[in-house]
Structures are given as C-alpha cells and as structure tokens.
Amino acid sequence: MIHITECPRDAMQGIHTFIPTAEKISYLQQLLKVGFPVLDAGSFVSPKAIPQLADTHEVFDALDMSATQTKILAIVANARGASEAVAVDKVSILGFPFSVSETFQQRNTNSSIAQSLSRVEEIIELCASRNKELVIYLSMAFGNPYGDEWSPELVAKWAKTLEGMGVKNLSLADTTGISEIQGISTLYTTIQAELSSANLSMHLHSLPQDVALKAEAAYNAGCRYFDSALKGFGGCPMASDTLTGNMATEVLIQWANVNQIETGINHLELKEAERQANFLFDRYL
C-alpha cells in the first residue's frame, strides 16, 4: 500500500489571481471525501509571502470534518506561524521547510540554516504542547540551482540531525523538479540507512510524463509515502519563475492501480475532485 498526501496548498500558493474563499472551501470539502490520509491544505506563513493563502483561518473554520478520517496539514515558516497553527483544532500536522541549501533557506524563510534549526526546536515544543504532529521537508534534497554544496551524504547528515532533535517525519523535497530516476533511488536508500525510526516520505515535483517512472523508482527503493496534487498543479514560488509542478495525483493513483498497489482512495469521489480541480485551476491560473 502507498499513502498519498494531497497538496492543494502547494497547488494554489503560486497562483497570483486570488481564489475566492468559498471556492477553496468547496474544493477542500470534496477532497476530504476522497480518502487521502493527509490533506496539505493551508498556510500560516505571512500573507505578504503567500497572499493566496491569507484566508487559511477562514477556510479551516468552515470545513466540516465530521465525516472524514483525513488529517489536515498546514505549512509554517517560524514559531509565530506555528503558534497560530497549533491553536487550530482542525490542524493535526504542521509542515516546516528546512533547506539543505543555505541560499534557498534564506529565500524561502528569510533565515539561515542555523537559525532554522532553532526554529525547529521551538516548533517541536509547540507541537508537543498541543499534541500535534510535525513533518520537516528537506528542501532542495535533490540538488539546487545556486551552486551550494550538495550530496546524498549531506542530506543524510541533516536528516540524522533532525531525527536526533526528535523529528519523527521527514520528507525529501524535490523543490525544483530536478530529480532523476536513479537519483531518487540513491537518495532514498542513503537517507533511510541513516535513520533509526523516523518516517521518510517523498515530495517530488515532476513533468506529467515522468510521474510513473519517479513513483516506481521511489517505491522500489522502499518509499510508501508520497505527496502529490491533482492535475499536477503547483510548485514552489520561492524557488523559480518557471515551475515544475507537483506529481499528478491521478497519474500516481493510475500507476498504483496498474501495479496492484492499494491506495485507500474512493475513486468516485476522486473523479468529482478531478472535475472540480479542472474547473478551479482553469479558471484562475
């Protein structure tokens, strides 16, 4: 079985035209019916940085969670955002982007790697105080366009450091879509060998024609936890002006079905979510 985190937050955050709050709520409500274990649905990052998600509080207040087992994840960039997020009952998981590239850490969270380690400590304490989970995204895990030092061993060093601080969930993030098939396998196995008990997932960006190949490479290396977004929308607006989108959820699920790998997805509700995604993103992109 594979476990899919659906990422409408990642899909929406780079769209410049503001998507009306009511339409966000309707779309997320449909996604809650599909059966995803986790929905990456909002942001407690400064609205100046991510204006598209300035209405996250209002959106979350309106969601009906009574008929779903899906957990809500929200992204944060510092202790201030984490304090807001842990105070929201519907938020079960906080996500924090920790870059192995010094340049991107500054671009993405306006902090150094050393400062980000201190932020992680604060966020761990905040999560523990309100019984929330935390996932750390290892941004630029597959390399970076800035010429900063990179190697699988460097990524492994930071993964091991974060696990030692008490982080139980780590995600290898292909921030700019540069991962290659062999590199996916090599990185996953290198990191996994260094971890004692932390769960390791993949947040891959991909062109549509490469989704199945990348999913298969990760799966064969041992990965069972994937992030994706319907229709492959999204990408990190802090990383590049020309974005490679997320892995397309429907392609990932199709690959899983062909290979007789369970996903736990309600396919009828997925079709309706696809229809709504087409309408929503075609209208505002």
- Between 63 and 209, the more confident residue is 63
DSSP codes, 211-237:
HHHHHHHHHHHT--EEEEBGGG----T
- For residue 104, what pLDDT band results from cuts at 50, 70 and 90? very high
Per-residue model confidence as pLDDT tens digits over 207-216: 888 999 999 9
Residue 244: its pLDDT value, please? 63
Residue 237: its pLDDT value, please? 46
SS3 74: strand
Task: Give which of 264, 248, 167, 168 is closest to 213, Cα–Cα.
Answer: 248
Task: Give which of 181, 187, 123, 128 is closest to 156, Cα–Cα.
Answer: 187
Per-residue model confidence as pLDDT tens digits over 157-196: 999 999 999 999 999 999 888 999 999 999 999 999 999 9
CA 99 and chain centroid, separation: 14
Extract the runs of DSSP E, i.e. beta strands, from 44-168.
71-75, 91-99, 133-139
Per-residue model confidence as pLDDT tens digits over 21-57: 999 999 999 999 999 999 999 999 999 999 999 999 9
Residue 175: its pLDDT value, please? 85
Kindly report the number of other CB atoms within 10 A of residue 260's CB atom.
6
Reply yes or no on whether the pLDDT at 66 is more than 80: yes
Reply yes or no on whether the pLDDT at 236 is more than 60: no
Residue 59 φ then ψ, to 5°:
-60, -50
Kindly report the number of other CB atoms within 10 A of residue 133's CB atom.
15
On average, the pLDDT of the chain sits at 95
Residue 235: its pLDDT value, please? 62
Region 134-150: mean pLDDT is: 96
DSSP 18: P
Distance (Å, rounded) from C-alpha 95 to C-alpha 258?
31
Residue 94 φ then ψ, to 5°:
-105, 140
Whether 112 and 102 have beta carbons less than 8 Å apart is answered as: yes
Per-residue model confidence as pLDDT tens digits over 257-275: 999 999 999 999 999 999 9
Residue 259 φ then ψ, to 5°:
-95, 10
Asked whether the whole model's pTM tops 0.75, one would answer yes
